[in-house]
A and B are shown apart, each in its own frame.
Chain A
């Protein structure tokens, strides 16, 4: 009757549902199986790319189930929430069911329980009961945290126990998993994950967020003073280094060179070296060769700053760097483009491809223009993040390792040594129990018995 009453209570029904280890197994295997999907379908790509790859029908179907960002889809998150509830409920349920074993100040021992153990080690010893009692008690005290002695009908019994606390190992692991998930949740609510490109010499105070199409305002500025990339002889990259300065209201507060694996952290915001690129140059050294006199004039040209050319050859303005410039339908690669205005003539567009330095000769103009030098400028790509949950996650990591070690390799052990008078000799019985790795306990008991038998100085 009582059981039925409990089972019909909806709250208890839910509780019972979550105490099931079968549920744990189902959730774990479902998580394992469904996680595969997101490794086969590349995640978070452009919708157009998916549409092209899968076609209209599959695209819509996959989209409904959130498979293009499946680890953040409602059903995957639901599985994780179910697993978390399952872990917490199971742990509470088992701790309360075992509280008499788990929370004990002074352990008690029952003679009958130990006498019932099937595997015992027994030997006869010719030392006196008193002598043996001292030896055995010293042995148990040395190897076990708690020990206790009591007289029996035939002699005495010595008990020892240790490692009761190791029963908490598994709950430590469960707590660690909960901490990981809580830490992840804190990070996703209060943190951000963004990126920014900063040209050398410039500073920014805004970053673009990855998950949403949004710009985030930082309460400080990041300036990139310098960016350097170095290569091995093989051509593989050796180091990417950005010299960064943090500015607060225009005042320099922190300076640091960051490389991959060594970020800058400031006010809880982390700046990671993540990519780089070349900026179109805004300063060029150009050479102007006069066709009439053959004189060569090297001149500095700034972006959009008109230059007055010598020998009354006119003016020249450097307008842009054109990526993959076209000339009569052919791709001639990256080229600087400027406008030359001869005195009294019409302006003409001058193309200066980087690949062909003497390209402008073909124009057969009054002046021949070539790029002598371009100020090389890089921009650094930074990953900018904040994650206040990371320390919760890291404590979860530490607890998980400690907890797994305790759970797998330590146990709650009890030993029992009974001394009984047997004629002139004393019969010694050694037995023990452990809550896990019972075969190892058998070996331990054998070793203990052998050691006690050997301790006889008369042998």
Chain B
């Protein structure tokens, strides 16, 4: 089996993980969520194997390059990053309900990569603009950042749901982590993501300067990454300096993730250098 075959199986594994976490949370079955953790670990291992296989396959095709060069490959990496960050948090905080909100995002990313007819899973040689050592650093930094923001988005949704049902105990919501814990977790994830988003923008700027002679050109993808950076910078300042907590930071975190999604997908609808259409 080739890498795309392995990765489409992982799509279903992640689907199963998401289902198990949601099922365990809804019907209060802790054993199911424990199983989900193990399945998630297996899925992550398979995800990594798929990426490595794809790397090897590209060398066998004679134009080897790191599998981080198109939408398919970035989505696969994105899904893996989300699951990895989630598993670290699960271990640190010992709460598996978060998985019900995060695993589906990883599943959707993988499903979009594997199942969408618009996304080719063919391994293609690199066009001249992408032949740079900065490619790997740029893509990895960006997607670690995006992964952290995706998890922060899930956590913020949980916060808003938890807050709405603050008074009724015994419901599904009472199994969510404490609101303060969610708020703190959101903050931690945003800081982590912000560091990597900054690194991603910076490596992209250095790369642009070596490829096109300009470190910043206000092309739509650059501009949208900066918009994302502004939103999360607002969140950090509002929280640390103005004492914003809870609902307002959760909404900013969700808004920030919407900007991430537009930077990632929406910008392809607009013209610019990142479309790689014109040399």
Contacts and interface: CB of A to CB of B under 8 A. Distances in A.
B174 interface: no
Interface stretch (A26-34, A121-129, A304-312): A26-34
Contact of B125 (A31, A32, A238): A238
A443 B215 CA distance: 43
A404 B205 CA distance: 18
Q: How large is the interface on A (under 10, 10 to 19, 20 to 34, 35 or more residues)?
A: 35 or more
Interface string B179-211: 000001000000110110011001001110111
Nearest to A276: B279
Contacts of A29: 230-231, 234
Contact of B215 (A261, A275, A390): A390
Given A21-B242, A43-B218, A394-B206, 9 more contacts: A29-B234, A32-B227, A36-B227, A260-B128, A261-B128, A261-B210, A274-B213, A275-B279, A439-B184
A169 B262 CA distance: 31
A393 B127 CA distance: 28
A163 to B, nearest CB: 17
A261 B230 contact: no
Contacts of B63: 232
A400 interface: yes
Nearest to B228: A32
B52 interface: no
B220 interface: yes
Contact of A393 (B215, B259, B267): B215
Give the 4 A-B CB pairs with smallest separation, nearest first. A32-B230, A260-B128, A39-B220, A408-B191
Contacts of A394: 206
B58 to A, nearest CB: 13
10 contacts: A21-B237, A28-B237, A29-B230, A35-B223, A36-B227, A38-B223, A232-B63, A234-B124, A237-B127, A261-B211
Interface residues of B, number: 46
Nearest to B202: A397
B211 A272 contact: yes
Contacts of A38: 218, 223
A200 to B, nearest CB: 18
B195 A261 contact: no
A320 interface: no
B82 to A, nearest CB: 20
B155 to A, nearest CB: 16
Contacts of A193: 213-214
Interface string B224-235: 101100110110
A401 B202 contact: yes
A302 interface: no
Nearest to A393: B215
Contacts of B234: 25, 28-29, 32
A236 interface: yes
A390 B194 contact: no
Contacts of A36: 223, 227
A237 B124 CA distance: 11
Contact of B218 (A21, A71, A393): A71
A25 B128 CA distance: 41
A236 B191 CA distance: 40
A239 B238 CA distance: 48
Contacts of A272: 211-213
Interface string A377-413: 0000001110100100110010011001100110000
B211 to A, nearest CB: 5
B132 interface: yes
A35 B129 contact: no
A374 interface: no
Nearest to B197: A404
B63 to A, nearest CB: 7
Contacts of B128: 237-240, 259-261, 273
A182 to B, nearest CB: 14
A383 B199 CA distance: 26
A28 B230 contact: yes
B88 interface: no
B21 to A, nearest CB: 25
Interface string B249-279: 0000000000100000001001100000001
A40 interface: yes
A42 interface: yes
Contacts of B198: 400-401, 404
Contacts of B34: none
B217 to A, nearest CB: 10
Interface string B15-55: 00000000000000000000000000000000000000000
B241 interface: yes
A25 B249 CA distance: 13
B216 interface: yes
B192 A408 contact: yes
B218 A236 contact: no
Contacts of B191: 408-409
Contact of B131 (A42, A232, A261): A261
A79 to B, nearest CB: 11
Interface in A241-263: 259-263
A22 interface: yes
A184 interface: yes
A275 B270 CA distance: 22
A387 B270 CA distance: 28
B24 to A, nearest CB: 27
A159 B223 CA distance: 49
A236 B127 contact: yes
B250 to A, nearest CB: 16
Interface string A14-55: 000000011011001101100110111011000000000000
Contact of B124 (A24, A71, A236, A400): A236
Give the residue among A32, A270, A383 with the most B Cβ atoms within 10 A.
Answer: A32
A451 to B, nearest CB: 20
A260 B194 contact: no
A238 B131 CA distance: 9
A260 B211 contact: yes
A384 B205 CA distance: 17
Contacts of B195: 401, 404-405, 408
